[in-house]
Amino acid sequence: MNTLKTATLLALLSALLVIGGGALMGRSGLYLGLCFAAVMNFGSYFFSEKIALLSYSARPVTPTGNSAIYHRVAPIAGRLSQRMKLPMPKLWVIPQQSPNAFATGRNPSHASVALTAGILEVMDDRELEGVIAHELGHVLHRDILISSVAAMLAGTITMLASMARWGMIFGGLSRDDDDRGGGGIFGELLMMLLAPIAAALIQAAISRSREYEADAASARYTGTPYELISGLRKLEAYSRRIPLDASPATAHMFIVKPFTGRTVMNLFSTHPPTAERIARLQAIR
């Protein structure tokens, strides 16, 4: 069900890009939107892993680098990778005390799992297994690619709306009345306001759907939902006490939304409420 929902939402996001590009800037805007989406998706597919890891100063975890962490985490990741029939991911540690984790990489053969120093301090091995299984669930379902595509499509829609606004301010949009479409100037203004909001809502819904799927994968491959339940409870409590300095562009990647002290409407949140995630996990038998 979540897979079908994700496919439907991605189709809606793509349609919004095409229709929005056409409404805002005519046929040229439609083509421009498609070109930008193709270029940005290509860049996201190949470089999102390096960008995400660099932005958090992540350090590799190997037998010779951060060896104590490696000998604790690698056996857990190795067992889970075998169960999921995945290649062993690269392991990274982020030098931040706020407990959190994320997975990144363009496909299972180029996947990385990054853990903050804080999560390694507050979690026992059982809870850590639940968290790593969740992240490998994202790898198994290719959620990193799905999230990257959704983020780039939503970003392109927002960019087109911004370009249209500036074009209107400085002399109007670069198209004649025949290419303006049925909505006219009021339709364009409405699209400028609503298209970015709709894109953000759809992107957030896709992200929430994938989090539920990764939670279910953790329960399936660890054999119990209670490891992740315990881990999520700790993450929710500690992340509020120790906020993570996270970029809005990458906040959706983490297992729990980095707490910044600001309240965000659930519709725009990239993560489901932790209480709802725990309730769904508790319903698994």
Residue of higher predicted confidence among 96 and 10: 96
Confidence of residue 23 (pLDDT cuts 50, 70, 90): low
Instruction: Classify residue 56 as exposed, middle or buried by CB count within 10 Å of its CB (0-12, 13-18, 19+).
Output: buried
Confidence of residue 109 (pLDDT cuts 50, 70, 90): very high
Q: What is the pLDDT of residues 153-187, one digit of tens each?
A: 777 777 777 766 666 665 554 444 445 444 456 65
- Residue 135 annotated to the active site: yes
Measure the CA angle with vertex 52, ends 207 and 8; round to 5°: 20
d(CA 197, CA 162): 13
Residue of higher predicted confidence among 279 and 246: 279
Q: What is the pLDDT of residue 39?
A: 73
Question: What three-state secondary structure class fits 69?
Answer: helix
Q: What is the pLDDT of residue 270?
A: 82
Measure the CA angle with vertex 256, ends 254 and 259; round to 5°: 100
Q: Which of 14, 89, 21 is nearest to 58 (CA)?
A: 89
Confidence of residue 205 (pLDDT cuts 50, 70, 90): confident
User: At 106, phi and psi to the nearest 5?
Assistant: -75, -20
- The answer to whether residue 191 scores a pLDDT higher than 90 is no
Residue of higher predicted confidence among 2 and 256: 256
- The answer to whether residue 207 scores a pLDDT higher than 50 is yes
Most confident segment among 54-63, 169-178, 260-269 = 54-63
Mean pLDDT, rounded, for 130-137: 98
Retrieve residue 145's tokens.
């690619």
Of 49, 127, 129, 135, the active-site residue reads 135
- The answer to whether residue 45 scores a pLDDT higher than 80 is no
Instruction: Say which residue the tokens 């489901």 belong to.
Output: 272
d(CA 121, CA 220): 25
Q: What is the pLDDT of residue 176?
A: 46
Q: What is the pLDDT of residue 172?
A: 52
Q: What is the pLDDT of residue 177?
A: 47
Mean pLDDT, rounded, for 75-81: 98
